[in-house]
A and B are shown apart, each in its own frame.
Chain A
Amino acid sequence: MTQPQRDRLAAAQAELLHALLGNGEPPAGFDPERLRVEARSLLNKRRGIVAMLRPDVVDGLGDRFRPLFEGYARAHPRRAGSRAREDAAAFAEWAVAQGELAPPKKRRWWRRAT
């Protein structure tokens, strides 16, 4: 049986990801500088994917995209089970709710793209 092993591994992996992606405490035994480098690398990768999937959001925010995403990311780490597209959409919605981004124009059925 691997259940006791699974439980201990789950706790250790969760602690690491919460420290790297969210606001969790750094786990014991890791090099703090490497944790910082890894966290930065993961954030850059996530931001790059959001930028690739939502160029409209990058255009809409301009120079504010990077700093806003930095502020957003740790408070809103990507949830397991979410798709990259959903993660990008969640940031766009947050930016709208913050008043940083104009809400998307409602599409009327008679103007729906063909």
Chain B
Amino acid sequence: MVDKLGVGIGWRPEIDLTVEQLDVDFVEVVAENLHVGHLPESVLLLRERGVPVLPHAVSLSLGGAEPVDAGRVAHLGGLAEALGAPFVSDHVCFVRAGGLDSGHLMPLPRTREALDVLVANVKAAQADLPVPLALENVAALLEWPDGELTEGRFLAELVERTDCLLLVDVANLYANARNLGTDVGRFLDEIPLERLAYVHVAGGVEHQGVYHDTHAHAVLPEVLDVLKQLRDRIDPPGVLLERDDDYPADAELAGELAAIRAVLA
């Protein structure tokens, strides 16, 4: 079990002053948007206050067929050291393939073969990182054919074989339940919750019968209900609200943080 983090929010340059004023215990930064050596003043201010700042990467493409890009891992590790972060994170996904960049976190085929490649890539990244690596479940709009494992078992085996931490995104889990029929209870039962680093919560919207994890809309009560189901099993070390676009009034973000605290209480 990792140290208690509390309730946090994703730090973004567009809401830097808001984040400084909100009542948050920790923040997360998108690793690819920061550079060691010229960190934003706002991030340094939060560090001075003792607020943990966790680097969150989106581009390692750990589930991709190609070996991990050492330069991207080095950047993430350097950021962790500059920020004094207890751990870093990325996703169980692939981003690049066939010479193309999807610009998004694409789901993996849940086959033993894909798991073997993921495990090899995660181990390679871990070997070059100065702190533990947490891996996050992604939201998918489509399902690969011929899956051999449930998403929960896929993640559980990943943890068993790499000893990585888990970052459980309850909005992504909700999205997969809505869009792919993932069984939320079974997922939560199958993953090793004792390896939980923290939890993501985010907003989204339904469009033509499909739930889109936009990070640009309010958090749905249904997503908080998934958080409740997780809370019924474990008191998570941390829960972090992600908002990436269409930033609302400060009071609305404060309200969403309060709603998260209420579920955890």
Contact = CB atoms under 8 A, between A and B. Distances in A.
A114 interface: no
Interface string A3-30: 0011111101111111011100000111
Contacts of B103: 42, 45-46, 49, 78, 84
A78 B101 contact: yes
B99 interface: yes
B117 interface: yes
B100 interface: yes
B5 interface: no
B186 interface: no
Nearest to B120: A2
B70 to A, nearest CB: 14
B238 interface: no
Interface stretch (B17-25, B125-133, B141-149): B141-149
Interface stretch (B90-98, B152-160, B187-195, B248-256): B90-98
A18 B97 CA distance: 9
A60 B146 CA distance: 47
Given A2-B120, A29-B145, A38-B141, A79 B98 contact: no
Given A2-B116, A34-B141, A13 B98 contact: yes
Contact of B109 (A12, A28, A35, A48): A12
Q: Which among B98, B117, B145 has the highest number of chain A CB atoms within 10 Å?
A: B98
Contact of A15 (B64, B98, B102): B98
Interface in A77-92: 77-82, 84
A17 B98 contact: yes
A9 to B, nearest CB: 4
Interface string B120-140: 100000000000000000000
B61 to A, nearest CB: 9
B141 A13 contact: no
- Which interface class (under 10, 10 to 19, 20 to 34, 35 or more) fits A? 35 or more
B97 A17 contact: yes
Given A30-B144, A34-B141, A37-B141, A9 B65 contact: yes
Q: Which of B94, B99, B146 has the most CB of A within 10 A?
A: B99
B261 interface: no
Contact of B64 (A13, A31, A46, A84): A13
A10 B97 contact: yes
B66 interface: yes
Contact of A7 (B64, B65, B143, B145): B65
B231 interface: no
B142 A38 contact: yes
B114 interface: yes
B100 A78 contact: yes
Contacts of A42: 102-104
26 contacts: A5-B113, A6-B65, A6-B66, A9-B114, A9-B117, A10-B66, A10-B97, A12-B144, A13-B97, A15-B98, A16-B97, A17-B100, A28-B145, A30-B142, A31-B142, A34-B142, A37-B210, A42-B104, A45-B104, A77-B100, A78-B101, A79-B100, A80-B96, A80-B97, A82-B101, A84-B103
Given A10-B65, A13-B65, A80-B100, 14 more contacts: A5-B113, A9-B65, A9-B109, A12-B144, A14-B98, A15-B98, A17-B98, A17-B102, A18-B100, A28-B145, A31-B142, A34-B143, A46-B103, A84-B103
